[in-house]
Amino acid sequence: MELRALVSALGDFASLSLAESWDNVGLLVEPSPPHAVNTLFLTNDLTEEVMKEAVRRKAELVLSYHPPIFTPLKRVTWQTWKERLVVRALEHRVGIYSPHTAYDAVPHGVNAWLAKGLGACTCAPLRPSAAPSQPAQGTHRVEFCAGSTERLDTVLSKIRDIQEISCLTTLPARVEGEEQTRVSLSCSQKALLEVVALLSQNNLVHHRTEILLLQKPLLPHTGMGRLCTLSEPASLSDVIGRIKSHLKLLHVRLALGTGKALESPVKKVALCAGSGSSVLKGTEADLYLTGEMSHHDILDAVANGISVILCEHSNTERGFLLELRDTLAVHLQNKINIIVSEKDRDPLQVV
């Protein structure tokens, strides 16, 4: 499968527009074209050991959940491990693609997989994602009425000279028994200031002027984190057991909420794969489930009677790769071989 066709198909599977604005997603390293991909190699973290494995297993594209290139590289030498990843990738003609938070947001992504470990439950995003495109051009819609045709023509002429104005329409309207013209236009935030100033100068700003903020519609079942309501309440101890089993972990870290015990019932669980502090903070739930949180955010949760389970960052993500392998195989119509790294692992271990 040609690389660009594969990248397009991966974008159809999970639109990169859903990724957080701070993220670095998409095709990060591209060998010179043409570049055919017969083997897609999945990993949570692309370390040097994992890159050697990808080369040994003859992968033409690595899909690394976490982007190995995040901060800009000023040079590509053999000096740092991330530079060496790029060098080795280009030497062996291996592309690198990262979806990261786009996979967090999609309904069939990492957070949805993590929620499966809770048992039967209903889930909704904690921070819903908006549609990637505006419902109309511009960020605002301005509507106003004017009675004087001559003065209106002058104003409309000046409005048309303003940059970032679109969808300008005029319709006859009857306002309080008087024949008037209803004007509607879309504009950017910058153009809005100019339009309002122009209307004010011509005494039209108070003539039933309305300014509407154009907001993107929210996408169903899509967004960061999940608030999960268990079909039947379960004890905290039982939920811990389910999570350990799902993540294949012998140990997790637990902070008991104030007044809570292992026998306390759990009905609502707020979860976020990876580092969930910013997404979980302030959410009302019986339990927070994530990979890592700051000490002070844990104290805040505990003080509010919310227990916290920490599993280490990548342990809440890595297991998704097996499900991703099977789902992508169907999405790509089994046109390429998809394999999961055997060397990828969380850097932390309990000793």
Query: CA 172: distance to chain centroid?
Result: 44
Is residue 317 part of an annotated ligand binding site?
yes
Is residue 313 part of an annotated ligand binding site?
yes
Tokens of 333: 């119509």
Alpha helices in 106-188 (DSSP H): 110-115, 149-160
Q: Is the peptide bond before 34 cis (omega within 30 degrees of 0)?
A: yes
**Cα(first)–Cα(last) distance of the chain, in Å?**
44
How far, in Å, CA of 151 to CA of 148, rounded? 5
How far, in Å, CA of 219 to CA of 131, rounded? 6
Q: Distance of CA 238 to CAs 192, 266, 267, 273, 309, Å?
A: 56, 9, 12, 20, 13
For residue 111, report the phi and psi dihedrals to the nearest 5 degrees: -70, -35
How far, in Å, CA of 219 to CA of 128, rounded? 7
Is residue 331 part of an annotated ligand binding site?
no
- CA-wise closest residue to 20 among 281, 292, 224, 277: 224
Give the CA-trace dihedral at 306, 308, 313, 316, to 10 degrees. Answer: -90
For residue 249, report the phi and psi dihedrals to the nearest 5 degrees: -115, 145
Are 300 and 278 spatial neighbours (Cβ–Cβ below 8 Å)? no
Q: Which residues are annotated as part of the binding site?
A: 66, 104, 313, 317
Q: Which residues are annotated as part of the binding site for a divalent metal cation?
A: 66, 104, 313, 317
